[in-house]
Amino acid sequence: MGEEKTVAFSKAVPIRHSCDVLVAGGGTAGVAAAVVAARQGAQVVLVEATGCLGGLGTSGLVPGFCTMWDGTNVLADGIGREVVERLHDMGGVGPDVKPNQWSGVAFDAEALKRVFDDMVVDAKITLRFATELVDVVMDGGAIRSAIVCGRDGLYAIEAKLFVDTTGDGMLSVLAGAPWELGDEDGNTQGMTLCSLISGMDWEAYKAFLSATGEGHALHDTLEKAIEDGFFTQPDRHLPGVRRSALTFVGGNISHVYGRSAVDDEQLTEAYVLGRKLAREYVNFYRKYVKGFENAELACTASLMGVRETRRITGEYVLTVEDFKARASFDDEIGRYNYPIDIHRSSADKADYDKFWKEFREDLRLKSGESYGIPYRSLVPKGVDNVLVAGRCMSTDRKMQGSIRVMPGCFITGQAAGMAAAVCVTDGCRAADVDTDGLRDKLRTIGAYIP
């Protein structure tokens, strides 16, 4: 490929907002960060590229929270507990979810949108939907303002502290922070375009699973369909479906392989293929799985289910060795215990078999066990006034496979929000936060910090 042509671009844009804290990205981590910072008295602006809050839990139709506890302690306590309790109060959890259930909490995406709307509005946060981060203006080692684009054009937002909850680490990258992506060859986990499926008989489906002993993965049934040549690609990894509402199930089914979510052309291809595969998999369920004979594909998500993109390099890189050691840190802002869950980069059967052993046996903690998350992993190297939370925080690749899920985002998001408020109050750099004081403040909102 030849050298790209360039065009010089320069434009004066209005400063639309000046605030204490700008949170870029309104997914699970972003909502947690913005709400906690605002409740501490910070003036917060939250910008989100889509038309609702919640990211993959709403626009992405991921049908439930992975485990929020270790079997004894609610690890995603604080904002995470509040969200689940609000969903219960609204009737927004799946019909099979019990009170005080903290593992596999299925929910209605529309209810989650409303919960997040209410929390952000009640906290008096300045919220802007349909607003994309475009660039940043630096002043030495600090961001002075972020350049965004809304429906009324480009404008700037000035802030004292910036929180990167973009998922892809875009804010940190624009500010010059170092980052890594994928494995040693740049391969990333397969993506899934999640879906909503209607018209199925849940009791018949449960009876089918009980009779076959297959669980949600449907190994033998899936293998039979592959042998029949049913699929475009013989993908043996089937995360499955969850009953997210009385008449709907959420489908976390199929994988798009070989595309990068930080490449516009490849991501476009992924959306097109994802929609094709979603219908293919609903047809698979209808033909091979009892209870789905009359199932219909209601819709596919408007946001691709991206499991892996950039990892921003922070003051500490949390690693799989920390996971194995059940590590504790003097500056830890929470603990978590979801298994190392790295969906493979291809449909190769041997690769999938390796994943299954790793996920089910080798890299899974026991009940009551967890690993610590140090504050330093939320502090990007080389930038004074940025914190990062959610999927793009500072980890190695394997550890990202654990912390990337939504309960992990609640934990790191609320910690980043609290730290941002501390930075504003104390007038300090993100790297200079008094972590003992930060931990005490997090305990006051219910964060699990033993």
pTM to 2 decimals?
A: 0.98
Q: Considering the domain boundaries, does residue 258 fall inside one?
A: yes
Nearest to 253 by CA among 269, 243, 241, 245: 241
CATH of the domain at 57: 3.50.50.60
Residues of the chain with pLDDT under 70: 1
- pLDDT of 3 reads 86
**Beta bridge partners of residue 149, listed in sequence order:** 132, 154
Say whether both 70 and 212 belong to one domain: no
Strands 332-336 and 248-252: unpaired
Say whether both 173 and 236 belong to one domain: no
- pLDDT of 1 reads 56
- Any residues with CB less than 8 A from the CB of 8 and at least 6 apart, and which? none
- Between CA 139 and CA 146 the distance in angstroms is 12
Say whether both 33 and 77 belong to one domain: yes
- pLDDT of 217 reads 86
Q: Considering the domain boundaries, does residue 61 fall inside one?
A: yes
Q: Considering the domain boundaries, does residue 119 fall inside one?
A: yes
Say whether both 138 and 36 belong to one domain: yes
Residue 407: domain span: 16-184+308-343+369-444
Say whether both 104 and 64 belong to one domain: yes
Q: Which amino acid appears at position 255 of this protein? A: H
Tokens of 241: 């479906």
Q: Considering the domain boundaries, does residue 420 fall inside one?
A: yes
Say whether both 323 and 262 belong to one domain: no
Q: What is the dihedral of CA 118, 143, 50, 196, to 10 degrees?
A: -80
Per the structure, the count of domains in the chain is 2
Say whether both 267 and 332 belong to one domain: no
Q: Considering the domain boundaries, does residue 374 fall inside one?
A: yes
pLDDT tens digit sequence for 301-354: 999 999 999 999 999 999 999 999 999 999 999 999 999 999 999 999 999 999
Q: Considering the domain boundaries, does residue 4 fall inside one?
A: no
Q: Considering the domain boundaries, does residue 142 fall inside one?
A: yes
Q: Considering the domain boundaries, does residue 418 fall inside one?
A: yes
Say whether both 50 and 140 belong to one domain: yes
Picking from 239, 265, 300, the residue at the C-terminal end of a domain is 300
Nearest to 65 by CA among 27, 107, 117, 32: 107
C-beta separation of 309 from 169 below 8 A: yes
Say whether both 289 and 323 belong to one domain: no
Angle between helices 28-39 and 406-426 (to 10 degrees): 30
Strands 15-24 and 44-47: parallel
Three-state SS letters, the chain: CCCCCCCCCCCCCCEEEEEEEEEECCCHHHHHHHHHHHHCCCCEEEECCCCCCCHHHCCCCCCEECCCECCCCECCCCHHHHHHHHHHHHCCECCCCCCCCCCCEEECHHHHHHHHHHHHHHCCCEEECCCEEEEEEEECCEEEEEEEEECCEEEEEEEEEEEECCCCCHHHHHCCCCEEECCCCCCCCCEECCEEEECCCHHHHHHHHHHHCCHHHCHHHHHHHHHCCCCCCCCCCCCEEEEEECCEEEEECCCECCCCCCCHHHHHHHHHHHHHHHHHHHHHHHHHCCCCCCCEEEEECCCCECCCCEEECECCCECHHHHHCCCCCCCEEEEECCCCCCCCCCCCHHHHHHHHHHHHHHCCCCCCCCEEEEHHHHCECCCCCEEECCCCCCECHHHHHHHCCHHHHHHHHHHHHHHHHHHHHHCCCHHHCCHHHHHHHHHHCCCCCC
Strands 179-181 and 310-312: antiparallel
Say whether both 139 and 203 belong to one domain: no
The vertex-44 CA angle with 331 and 83, nearest 5°, equals: 70
Say whether both 41 and 175 belong to one domain: yes
Picking from 242, 275, 300, the residue at the C-terminal end of a domain is 300
Q: Which amino acid appears at position 365 of this protein? A: L
Say whether both 315 and 425 belong to one domain: yes
Picking from 300, 335, 353, the residue at the C-terminal end of a domain is 300
Residue with tokens 């030849």: 2
